[in-house]
Amino acid sequence: MKRRWTFVSGLLAVVLLTLAVGPGQAQGPQPSGEGVQPQGEVGIQAALGTAFTYQGQLKKGGNPVNGVCDFRFNLWDAADAGTLIGTRTKTNVPVSNGLFTIPDLDFGAVFAGDARWLQIAVKCAGDSGYVTLSPRQPLTPAPYALALPGLWTQQNTTSPNIIGGYSGNSVTDGVVGATIGGGGLHLNTNRVTDLYGTVGGGIANQAGNNDGDTTNAMAATVGGGSENVASGDVATVGGGFSNTASGRGSTVSGGYGSDALGRSATVGGGENNFAIGNDTTVGGGWCNEASGAYATVPGGVFAKATHYGEMAYATGQFGGIGPTCPSAGDAQTSLYVMRIVRTCTPGVWYDLYLNGNDTPSEFLTISQGRTVAFDALVVGRSDGGESAGYYIRGVVENVGGMVSFIGTPVVSALGEDDPNWGVRAMTGFGALVIQVQGNGETIRWVATVRTVEVSW
């Protein structure tokens, strides 16, 4: 008469985190008759991994087995039929009084919170082949410490990836140190495509640039919201909808449809705002753009800061509205700061620049079709302690690419220690140019230019 193989008891425990668990029982239901039941004490004190320990008691013909047996484990995604996920075989396993332990059963990173079943086959000394036991054994909650519903871990030798939320949330192959805190849904998954990226939650968010190189947009972060992308190296999108931070170290805090494209550029919020130049800032508002390096738009609507260090503000526009705010800047006010330090040869005029250098591209250029009313405060101080201050006001325009004054700018000396010093406004290089002169001293000159600007 054939003798039946049975498991009287079994235990599954994940070997995971480096922590000690005191004595306790991992108890499951107690079915009558033959079957697999959780039993025993578990001490989980191993390095992070995907392996788990299987413990059980094996009987043959109702008697505990003593000897050496081979075990074959098939992992399935269903109690019957389904898809085979993996197979592992363990040979020469000692069995004493029916009890056995398999400490390192490892199917890899396959636990993503979905149900799993083990089909077990056994062959002991004297058996001609494996005997498959029935039914398949459902994995108890213990192994899912590695993959709690809505939270699972992808192991690697460097830094594990932590993935929470929707089961379709993903981390690109080869990426390490990634975190997806939660969120995501069907067709709107969250994903990390570059090393050490983070998505806190929300839906359809992406940390990384997904260009196939996992190293060129590292440590990007999306806090939440929807359809946000942090695609620059160490870039951040805090939340909101459809925002992009693509410059290295750039930030979009929130809002809707805004882009931070320059290095360390920042958009605080609002809607359809663009921080394009390096180290630019748009505080908020709607359809504002900062494209000159270090330029700022504090808020408002339809302002455009195109020059180095310019601060622009507007409350509206005359032209049409489009997806990139084409009429931004056609009705605005701006503030500019110019400077230079020179040993001033008497009778020689020196230009002031937005960046303080001899760079004509950093003049206050006037674009075609634009008229600008301006006033400027100019101050200078020499290394010998002499000082002067001046005021200039006027109107300048660009017609057909030619920049010229309407009338003559008015210059007033507010006070000066040396009457041989002076300032004036000129045009050249398509720009409004502020010039200064001294009397042989080394002088630091600074000018603040305030404008009111209109264009067609």
CB atoms within 10 A of CB 109: 17
SS3 87: strand
- Assign residue 240 a region (left: φ > 0; alpha: ψ between -120 and 50; beta: otherwise): left
Q: Would the pLDDT of 280 be above 60? A: yes
Which segment of 88-102, 111-125, 424-438 scores lowest on mean pLDDT? Answer: 111-125
The CA distance from 389 to 443, in Å, is 13
**pLDDT value of residue 49:** 61
| Lowest-pLDDT choice from 42-46, 151-155, 181-185 | 42-46
Burial 73-89 (b: 16+ CB within 10 A, else e): bbbbeeeeeeeebeebe
Which of 43-57, 160-174, 177-191, 224-238 is least confident? 43-57
More confident residue, 319 or 40: 319
| pLDDT at residue 31 in the model | 32
Confidence tier at 54 by pLDDT (50, 70, 90):
confident
Q: What is the pLDDT of residues 378-436, one digit of tens each?
A: 999 999 999 999 999 999 999 999 999 999 999 999 999 999 999 999 999 999 999 99
Q: Is the pLDDT of residue 182 over 80?
A: yes
Query: Does the 333-455 domain belong in CATH 3.50.70?
Result: no
Give me the pLDDT at residue 248, please.
Answer: 98
| Residue 430 near residue 366 (C-beta atoms within 8 A) | yes
Task: Write out the residue limits of the CATH 2.60.40 domain(s) in the chain.
Answer: 5-21+31-145, 333-455
Closest to 235 (Cα-Cα) out of 255, 223, 217? 217
Q: Which residues contact 228 (CB under 8 A, 6 or more apart)?
A: 202, 205, 206, 222, 237, 239, 240, 241, 242, 243, 244, 252
User: Is the dihedral angle over the CA atoms 10, 13, 15, 20 positive or is it negative?
Assistant: negative
Look at residue 140 in the predicted model and tell me its pLDDT. 62
Structure tokens that stand for 384 in this block = 């010998």
Share of the chain above pLDDT 70, in %: 85
pLDDT at 40: 34
Distance CA 221, CA 257 (A): 17
Does pLDDT of 175 surpass 70?
yes
Q: What is the mean pLDDT of residues 4-30?
A: 37
Average pLDDT across the chain, whole number = 87
pTM reported for the whole predicted model: 0.72
- From the options 2.40.160, 3.30.450, 1.25.40, 2.60.40, give the CATH code of 5-21+31-145: 2.60.40
Residue 321 has pLDDT above 90, yes or no: no
As a whole number, mean pLDDT of residues 210-238 equals: 98
Q: Are 11 and 26 in contact (CB under 8 A)?
A: yes
The pLDDT of residue 4 = 61
Per-state percent for the chain, helix, strand, coil, to nearest 5: 0, 45, 55
pLDDT at 149: 56
User: What's residue 23's pLDDT?
Assistant: 28
Please state, in angstroms and rounded to a whole number, the distance separating the CA atoms of residues 98 and 336: 86
Nearest to 50 by CA among 101, 90, 109: 109
